[in-house]
Amino acid sequence: MNKLYIGNVSAEAREEDFETIFEQWKIPFSGPFLVKTGYAFVDCPDEKAAMKAIDVLSGKVELHGKVIEVEHSVPKRQRSCKLQIRNIPPHMQWEVLDGMLAQYGAVESCEQVNTDTETAVVNVRYGAKDQARLAMEKLNGSMMENYALKVSYIPDESAAPEGAPLGGRRGFSSRGLPRSSSPGLGARPKVQSDIPLRMLVPTQFVGAIIGKEGATIRNITKQTHSKIDIHRKENAGAAEKPITIHSTPEGCSSACTTILEIMQKEALDTKFTEEIPLKILAHNNFVGRLIGKEGRNLKKIEQDTCTKITISPLQDLTLYNPERTITVKGTIEACAKAEEEVMKKIRESYDSDMAAMNLQSNLIPGLNLNALGLFPSGAPGMSPTMSSVPPPGAHGGCSSFGGQPESETVHLFIPALAVGAIIGKQGQHIKQLSHFAGASIKIAPAEGMDAKQRMVIIVGPPEAQFKAQCRIFGKLKEENFFGPKEEVKLEAHIKVPSFAAGRVIGKGGKTVNDLQNLTCAEVVVPRDQTPDETDQVIVKISGHFFACQLAQRKIQEILAQVRRQQQPKPTSGAPPPLPRRK
């Protein structure tokens, strides 16, 4: 991708003119300039030189009365799904960029390009040619924070030659997995794939980290290829401020080390005598796996890095602050090593959870992943277009699953040993969970001394069920009741009217079989059960979280259809209702 196209070229331009310009701007080129009428081509030795030519010359240098345009030379057959977007505002958050790109289609990958410019550059691959073309038409020249975006095609080596069959199923290309890096570059991360590093720093050091007119923080972002957000306005008057670093794992670690060094220097200059530990913020859902069984993971990190690590207690958590503080004490070098190991564990947990969610998320139309409450706001994977979680208990309007929400009762069976974790100290966790989800959550008494399972009774509308059950699944994973590579699979029971059980089963079991194929859950309607006093029977659903949720929703749809059919139809001769007196 190192061949350049030079456009808007004057008819008077000669090869020597271009050589003079490139030498004047110290841009290396590896071959002669091929000058045609109105345009020219040249090869650069590497991607860095090509990017420098585009950034320095395009739209800025005049030759014989015409301002030349410089961009990657892309053969027509390779103008497919890959775009390069340049001149992105330097402090733009990745979440905003992801949301902007997603407006025009499915983004398969988004990779930052290493350049010497203050503004950012990314290579984007869309899922289809028409999506990439629409993005180029809409974004090229558009203004963002006083920066005019520049968008151009870059070669898509995986694009099928014209007339060649695409292969595979309709709607799927044969190119396999999205590329993780662009040609000529070292591997770059997918912007949205890495969980950010979140730190807490003493408020008195924030000024030193930012530097005069932002010079220090700009230098850190440039050297480490990171996006760094210092949340100065959060928690006014607090002794500490959070910092979020978006980058590769290596970039995050490099930025973290630099920030620690800046704080250490500022402490010496201001005669600050207290120890300055590294404080990492991590979502509570990941902390259990970081600690490991009997604390083994954490002890190993301490031993390997010669540090002392403590984690803030569960009691410090609130509904609106699900993060715990991991405090690391030691030398800067030791803390830096510990950060790498801690974040490695957290990223592994994050990737595992995201893979489990993505497995079935496409099966629930309009699913709002924010409702899960698994990840802090602004974490990767959370699209800015997604609506925010409603405040606890705010379920008075229409449910996110459609229609006026009706209360449902679900019996969820958990390991008996996990009851203490769900209830929490003095019942604190189950109270918080109930308030957060907007549902009633109770643990039924054990059916015997040797009972291996306990029943959790959850009562609430669909969204409350979704949030409550998700947190319970997550809690069991976090507390290591299931292995690190083992999926959390639970059994849920819902009651249906006995006359509707046949509709759930379907003729010859067709409906229940289709339900199992669609949801990947095991759905059983025991035939030999006797209806209870309310003439209801139990439907058993087993599977991972998304499978259980989808099966519950589909069964509730069947029941709603049965109820509609049971409603008496108005008689044709009945007089219209009288208007209400005002």
Q: How confident is the model at residue 334, as a pLDDT?
A: 95
Residue 573: left (phi > 0), alpha (psi -120 to 50), or beta? alpha
The predicted structure's pLDDT at residue 263: 95
pLDDT at 483: 77
Measured distance CA(141)–CA(311) in Å, rounded: 48
**Neighbouring residues of 522: CB distance < 8 A, sequence distance ≥ 6:** 516, 540, 541, 542, 543
User: Helices marked H in 71-128 — which ranges?
Assistant: 94-102
30 touches 43 (CB < 8 A): yes
| Cα of 195 vs its chain's centroid, Å | 8
Neighbours of 141 (CB within 10 A): 10
Q: How far apart are CA 413 and CA 447, in angstroms?
A: 12
Question: Structure tokens of 466?
Answer: 């979704």
Average pLDDT over residues 480-509: 87
C-alpha–C-alpha distance, residues 194 and 380, integer Å: 7
Residue 410 in tokens: 């679900």
Mean pLDDT computed over 544-555: 87
Residue 125 · residue 179 · CB < 8 Å: yes
Whether the per-residue pLDDT at 542 is higher than 60: the answer is yes
* pLDDT category of residue 144 using cuts at 50, 70 and 90: confident
List, for residues 154-205, the tens digit of each pLDDT value: 887 665 444 444 333 333 333 333 333 333 333 333 343 458 899 999 999 9
Judged by average pLDDT, the poorest of 11-15, 70-74, 174-178 is 174-178
> What DSSP string runs through 439-469?
SEEEEPPPSSTT-SEEEEEEEE-HHHHHHHH
User: Tell me, what DSSP letter sits at residue 117?
Assistant: S
User: 347 versus 370: which is more confidently predicted?
Assistant: 347
Burial-class residue 77 by CB neighbours within 10 Å (0-12, 13-18, 19+).
middle
The residue whose two tokens read 């490991």 is: 292
* Best mean pLDDT range from 268-277, 330-339, 425-434, 548-557: 330-339
Contacts of 332 (CB under 8 A, 6+ apart): 257, 260, 261, 264
Strand partners, 409: 459
- Taking only the tens place, the pLDDT of each residue in 257-310 is 999 999 999 999 998 888 999 999 998 878 888 998 888 999 999 999 999 999
SS (H, E, C) 285-353: HHHHHHHCHHHHHHHHHHHHHCCEEEECCHHHCECCECEEEEEEECCHHHHHHHHHHHHHHHHHHHHHH
Pairwise CA distance, residues 104 & 99, whole Å: 10
pLDDT given for residue 456 in this prediction: 96
3-state secondary structure of 133: helix
Q: Provide the mean pLDDT of the chain.
A: 79
* 455 neighbors 411 (Cβ within 8 angstroms): yes
- CA-to-CA distance for 529 and 66, rounded, in angstroms? 85
At 564 the pLDDT is 84
Contact by Cβ (8 Å): 122, 88: yes
Residue 269's H or E segment, with its range, is helix 249-269
DSSP code of residue 435: H
- Cα distances from 459 to residues 76, 412, 469, 473, 498, in angstroms, run 59, 11, 11, 17, 20
Tell me the two tokens of residue 94: 């990745």
What CA–CA distance (Å, rounded) separates 94 from 124?
13
Rounded Cα–Cα distance for residues 498 and 532 (Å)? 9
Q: Does 447 have pLDDT greater than 90?
A: no
Q: What is the pLDDT of residue 354?
A: 67
Whether residue 396 contacts residue 436, with contact meaning beta carbons closer than 8 Å, is answered with: no
- Among 446, 289, 430, smallest CA distance to 352 is for 289
Residue 380 in this model has a pLDDT that exceeds 70: no
Could you tell me the sign of the dihedral formed by the alpha carbons of 509, 513, 514, 516, in that order? Answer: positive
Predicted confidence (pLDDT) at residue 348 exceeds the cutoff of 80: yes
Q: Residue 398: what pLDDT?
A: 38
DSSP code for 416:
G
The residue written with tokens 């009428």 in the block is: 37
With cut-offs at 50, 70 and 90, classify the pLDDT of residue 378. very low
Report the share of the chain in percent with pLDDT over 90. 27
Q: Find the mean pLDDT for residues 1-23.
A: 89
| Average pLDDT for 11-30 | 91
**Rounded Cα distance, 384 and 375, in Å:** 14
Neighbours of 458 (CB within 10 A): 22
Q: Rounded to an integer, what distance in angstroms lies between the CA atom of residue 51 and that of residue 57?
A: 10
Rounded CA-CA distance 353/362 in Å is 15
The C-alpha atoms of residue 515 and residue 520 are separated, in whole angstroms, by 8
For 522, phi then psi, to 5°, come to -90, 120
326 pLDDT higher than 90: yes
pLDDT score of 2: 79
**148 in Cβ contact with 88 (< 8 Å):** no
> What is the distance between the alpha carbons of residues 70 and 8, in angstroms, rounded to a whole number?
9
Choice among 110-119, 193-202, 300-309, 373-382 with the minimum mean pLDDT:
373-382
Confidence category of residue 577, pLDDT binned at 50, 70, 90: low
Strands 323-329 and 278-283: antiparallel
DSSP-assigned states of every residue in 468-480: HHHHHHHHHHHTT
Say if CB 276 and CB 268 are below 8 A apart: no
Question: For the ranges 62-66, 172-176, 203-207, 548-552, which has the lowest average pLDDT?
Answer: 172-176
pLDDT beyond 80 at 357:
no
Region 476-484: mean pLDDT is 81
Closest to 82 measured CA to CA, from 103, 97, 101: 101
Residue 232 has pLDDT above 70, yes or no: yes
Q: For residue 273, how many C-alpha atoms fall within 13 Å in the half-sphere facing its CB?
A: 0
DSSP 364: S
